[in-house]
Structure 1
């Protein structure tokens, strides 16, 4: 893993948006894996600004979001699809048919997960995936446990993860869905390039476990140690337990 420590979250976000823009310019039909949550917000704002200035053209790029809450429709304000529309999709020139998303309202979760894996395979897999990390070490919604699943799958969300997503549901963790659909570890580990962002003191322990700890399903992010091209971008607070 290549660890980069930035003076602030904003500086890291500007650099990350520039990296994505460079990847798009080098390969206009790039396939991007995109996260949600608070961590990537500034990256999306910077990409929107680059797009407005004509500095990045996303018209031929494809996107696959990492996860979605199960049991709510895409138009629900708390859904990750609605988050992406608000903060990114509506503001850039991505072709609608190149935006790929799990449908949390699908009646058959297993069939929906199989469909999504097949769409990603047909697209050739992820060229560049942007990740966050949960305080419990999860990536996407691959939660800590005795084992991890390779394919896209339905998952029960832990209490810590639901608390972290309460802002999407009026700061009421009891309204956060109990389950989600998520890309599995195979799609993430098969991505050609990985950039993981972590900001704030609350992520320091997870970053340390990911970078220095054993490879274990108890810290799903630790499996990134096995990837050949991973960059971990943190601010000073998140790097608190690192040299």
Structure 2
């Protein structure tokens, strides 16, 4: 039996689980039920997926449940490094293909092309795909500086007119990629990346944000207790009408 505490901050639901494992199970149950109900009502769905360590167990449980008809689901992903090929193990394309794409048979999986020869044209191409297929569910995490996708505090725009844009990556974010073993040294981490904007993320009818671990405790406290602003991009989740933030005891320890 999974136990949890529940809070509501503005319109944001906050679930606090006893461990990271229970968080992953609980989040997967929420996502599975939502998708099952949605497919019964609509017949199809579109999901926006993220990468990162917070998503690993969650995605694995969601896929292993075998209760979701992926053939009726179109998949998108949140962000991608600029100048990196999809077969590069450090790319988000590779991450999602290995952990999701090749394990299921979705209706479609639209990947951002990190090695596009015309990056601005790639932003436009992906924006048109998003406009043609409104998002039903967004699954993502939040960074230690509060970023959602690659909407870092210095480039986040709560009222961005774009759906996809190119951004310069914060040094802290680049170091995290090294520390997590995705790149062997700092200079290998690309300086720029494609990202869906905050308005694009908030366009999803439901948002499921996973933020486990002690390293997230400080930013979670700030996101939930201080003002909603671009210096804490994750705080924008408090304005969404159907968003759930999933924490464990460590990430919720400063609340």
**Does residue 227 in structure 1 map to residue 240 in structure 2?**
yes
How many Å separate the matches in 1 of 2:170 and 2:83?
Answer: 16
* Larger strand fraction of residues: 2
**Preserved contact between residue 177 and residue 183 of structure 2 (Cα < 8 Å):** no
Deviations 1:28-52 (A, max 9, x none): 311111100101000111123212x
How many Å separate the matches in 1 of 2:63 and 2:254?
Answer: 33
How many Å separate the matches in 1 of 2:175 and 2:79?
Answer: 17
Question: How far did 1:170 drift?
Answer: 4.0
Aligned residue number for residue 103 of structure 1: 113
Deviations 1:58-93 (A, max 9, x none): 111111100001101111111101011121211122
Question: How far did 1:22 drift?
Answer: 1.8
| Cα distance change, pair 103–27 in 1 and its aligned pair in 2 (3 A) | same
Aligned residue number for residue 81 of structure 1: 93
Q: CA RMSD in A?
A: 1.5
Question: How far did 1:224 drift?
Answer: 1.6
The one of 129, 142, 152 aligned to 1:143:
152
Aligned residue number for residue 137 of structure 2: 128
* SS of residue in 2 equivalent to 1:165: helix
Unaligned runs of 5+ in 1: none
| Cα distance change, pair 131–146 in 1 and its aligned pair in 2 (3 A) | closer
Q: How many residues matched?
A: 236
Aligned residue number for residue 37 of structure 1: 52
* SS of residue in 2 equivalent to 1:241: coil
The one of 26, 30, 35 aligned to 1:15:
26
Question: How far did 1:27 drift?
Answer: 2.3
How many Å separate the matches in 1 of 2:15 and 2:57?
Answer: 17
**Preserved contact between residue 139 and residue 208 of structure 2 (Cα < 8 Å):** yes
| Cα distance change, pair 201–9 in 1 and its aligned pair in 2 (3 A) | same
How many Å separate the matches in 2 of 1:160 and 1:118?
Answer: 31
How many Å separate the matches in 2 of 1:180 and 1:90?
Answer: 24
**Preserved contact between residue 33 and residue 63 of structure 1 (Cα < 8 Å):** yes
* SS of residue in 2 equivalent to 1:143: coil
Aligned residue number for residue 183 of structure 1: 196
* SS of residue in 1 equivalent to 2:80: strand
Question: How far did 1:239 drift?
Answer: 0.2
Question: How far did 1:168 drift?
Answer: 5.1
* SS of residue in 2 equivalent to 1:32: strand
How many Å separate the matches in 1 of 2:181 and 2:48?
Answer: 21
Q: Please, what TM-score do these two structures have when normalized by structure 1?
A: 0.92
Aligned residue number for residue 175 of structure 2: 163
Q: Does 15-24 or 106-115 show the bigger shift? A: 15-24
| Cα distance change, pair 33–168 in 1 and its aligned pair in 2 (3 A) | farther
